[in-house]
Structure formats: C-alpha cells, structure tokens
Amino acid sequence: MTLIKLENIRLDYPVADISHYSLKRLVLDTLTGRRRELDYVRALDGVNLEIMEGERIGLYGPNGSGKSTLLRLLAGIYPPTEGRLVVNGTLAPLLGLGAGIRPEMSSVDNIQMLLRLESTKPTQQVIDKIWAFTELEDRYRGYPLKTFSSGMQMRVLFAVATYASRDILLLDEWLSVTDANFQKKAEERMNDMVENSRALVIASHDMGLLKRLCTRILHMRGGQIETVETVDPLPQE
C-alpha cells in the first residue's frame, strides 16, 4: 500500500531583502504606490517519490540540500508551490522538540496544550502516563516550564512527543535528550516507535545510522533527489 506519494513537487521560499524592512523605503513605496516583489529560493525542485508500507526512507545530503524542507512538507508545515502530495495515514513529525511551548505556563498546562495540538485528548490518565515516563517528582507538575533545567524540559517534551503511536514517523536527525541518565530509556522508546510505524522517513548526516535503519537512502542536493540507494538495514547492536 502506498502511504506517501509526491508528484513533481516544487517548493519556493520567499526571501525578503533588507531594503523591504527599511522605514524610508516603506514610506516611499506607500507614497508612490509601488509594490516590491519578493525574491524566491527554490528549496525543492521536481521531487517525485512513492513510499510504500514497511519502507524506511533515509534522506542524506549536505546542508541546504532540501532534507529538512522535505520532511516539513510531508508534515504539512510547508505547502507545495506546485505538484501533488498524498499522505495516507497518521503522522508523527518529530522535527525538533520545544516548538509551540509556553515557558511561562506550568509543565502540565504545556502537556495539555501539546496533546491537543496532536489531536490527543489530555485526560488525567494520559497526563499521568506521560509524567511517569519523565521520572520527575510530582511537585514539578505545577511549576512553570521556564524554571526547569534543560534536561528536565527535554524529558517532558520528549515524553509528550513520543506518547502516541502514528502510522508514519518523520525524524529530523535521531532525537536525543540532554540528560545522560534518561538517554537509554529515550532511545528504547524511539526504537519501539520505528519498529511499530508503518513507514519511517529520517533525515541525517550520519550514513551509518541510515544504513542501520533504512531500506532506501535518497541522496539529495539542490532540492532534488540525485540518486536512490537500496540497502539492507544492518542488524541493531
């Protein structure tokens, strides 16, 4: 079964010159009625891809090659400028922890907010399971997130981001947490998510990691897929 299909996808970013933000330029343009056109950078250019159920896709290439942009397009963050994107299944876009949090709010309020953003009902049972995974003391539940150490914040955010299983797992690099004592537990959960997902798409600079996890590696450059490498995933150590 096809879970993801991209047909002739193109994505252009608007890039504003510094002159667009000049107060003098804004006044002159307003008086003259002139509209300044934005420049665009083509981040993805003619991408065609079909991902079947059971596939593990790696995205490899230098910075600026389009790896992260492609992940964000798949997640629905960026709409394509041209082309057709079809996604059949639920998505778990783990593209960086901390997006959308409110540091001044309590940790539990942030958990509830993030769960709602992921269309998960924040019941007390769900919150209790997430909190238990963090291994933090209960007294911290009501503390503002900004008072937490970076390691404590990462525990909370990672626990929320990985709570619910989804069909398609999107990863921008292999997520890690700053607390060394929590790292093994986090890696075990990540491995379980990969095993239980119907498809995986991961962007990384680590070719060894991609060869351990993936069935196909897409070599990207300039917003295009240059070559496709088929691999047999290496056994986990």
Summarize pLDDT for 43-86 with one digit per residue, the tens.
999 999 999 999 999 999 999 999 999 999 999 889 999 999 99
What local confidence, expressed as pLDDT, does residue 79 receive? 93
Burial class (CB in 10 A: 0-12, 13-18, 19+), 187: middle
- Give CA–CA dist 209/214, Å, rounded: 8
d(CA 205, CA 172): 10
What pLDDT shows up at residue 18?
46
Per-domain boundaries in the chain: 2-89+199-230, 107-196
What's residue 35's pLDDT?
58
Asked which of 40-54, 142-156, 177-191, 211-225 is least confident by mean pLDDT, the reply is 177-191
* pTM listed for this prediction: 0.80
Pairing of strands 91-94, 168-172: parallel
Superfamily of domain 2-89+199-230: P-loop containing nucleotide triphosphate hydrolases (3.40.50.300)
